[in-house]
Amino acid sequence: MLYSYLIQRFLLMFLTLLGMSIIIFVLLRLVPGNIVDIMFDSAGFVDPAEKATIEKELGLDLPIYEQYYHWIVGLISFDLGFSYVSEMPAVDEIGPRIPITAKLAALSLFFSILFGLPLGVISAVKQNTALDYALRVVSLSGLSLPSFWLALLILMACVSYTGAIPIYTETPETLWDELLLYLLPSAAVGFRASALIMRLTRSSMLEVMRQDYIRTAMSKGASDNAINYKHALRNAVLPVTTIIGIEAAFLIGGLIITETVFNIPGVAHFLVEAILMRDYPIVQSLVMFIAVIVVVINFLTDLAYAALDPRIKYSD
């Protein structure tokens, strides 16, 4: 039964990615203008013959289905083509930026889980106390503050109190320098995610703690730690796992503004530059990369359900 579920999930992943690849490719070409138009507009003149020659060299004169076929074949063979702007292989342009965004997203997710999960449990255990009210105010603040606005506040505070701007100006040489460089951006992004995890953990814990088996454990004299963590948290963690999976997928593609504010040369920042220049090979590859990450994370989240709750059964 589990193997049948895995096969179905893999088939669904394949169909989802195929459909998304078509949407990405078609929508990008529905936008007026291309890289050749931008090149000639910036030059201030248009030579139709030269323009047609460049379009032919870039393959932009082919029917859209032929362009899509060449792109898909290239993706399968990890040949992403060449950047129209830098004339470098797209793999060489994208490859060095993936670890930067991955580290920033991983650190943001780590902070959000580190603070969101335990504070949500504490808020539920200390329901309707001063601590609970304080944590609820903090969580609502995190959900209300946009990440880019919080990032700007952090930059202004650093300039005001330290006289330095914590933006990416050069490649960090040590692990400590790298950690310090990503610390503030990840905190700005992770604050909202931790607030969401905190709120959901609290509500899920309160729902579970009203169940009969929790009252039975209390009547048998189980300790508070055993009730809160062994019984309540284990059963309340499933919806929290869903949110963590969604936030992990969101962080990969949702760092555009944060990377721009802190001048971090990651995937999201590079995607904005490629979109502005209609650099099709870069945009297509980056958006497809984000789509693959989101689909894979959703699949791993489903597998985490089975690991966390053996009672879950998957039918054919």
- The DSSP secondary structure of 193-239, one letter per residue, reads HHHHHHHHHHHHHHHHHTSHHHHHHHHTT--HHIIIIIIIIHHHHHH
Domain that holds residue 198: 97-264
Q: How many CB atoms are closer than 10 A to CB 277? A: 18
Q: Which stretch of DSSP H or E encloses residue 113?
A: helix 97-125
Residue-level pLDDT, tens digit, the chain, 316 residues: 667 767 777 888 888 888 888 888 887 777 666 666 666 665 555 667 777 777 776 677 778 788 888 888 888 887 777 777 777 888 888 888 888 888 888 888 888 888 888 888 888 888 888 888 898 888 888 888 777 777 778 777 777 777 666 666 666 667 777 777 778 788 888 888 888 888 888 888 888 777 777 777 777 777 767 777 767 777 777 778 888 887 887 776 667 777 777 778 888 778 888 877 777 778 888 888 888 888 888 888 777 776 666 665 554 4
- Does the residue 8 lie in any domain? no
CA dihedral 11, 254, 85, 36 (to 10 degrees): 80
pTM greater than the 0.85 cutoff: no
- Does the residue 91 lie in any domain? no
145: left (phi over 0), alpha (psi -120 to 50) or beta: beta
CATH of the domain at 193: 1.10.3720.10
* Residue carrying structure tokens 């076929």: 69
CA 201/CA 117 separation, integer angstroms: 6
- Does the residue 166 lie in any domain? yes
- Note the residue count of the chain: 316
Domain count, the chain: 1
- Does the residue 296 lie in any domain? no
CA 194/CA 190 separation, integer angstroms: 6
- Does the residue 43 lie in any domain? no
CA 199/CA 213 separation, integer angstroms: 23
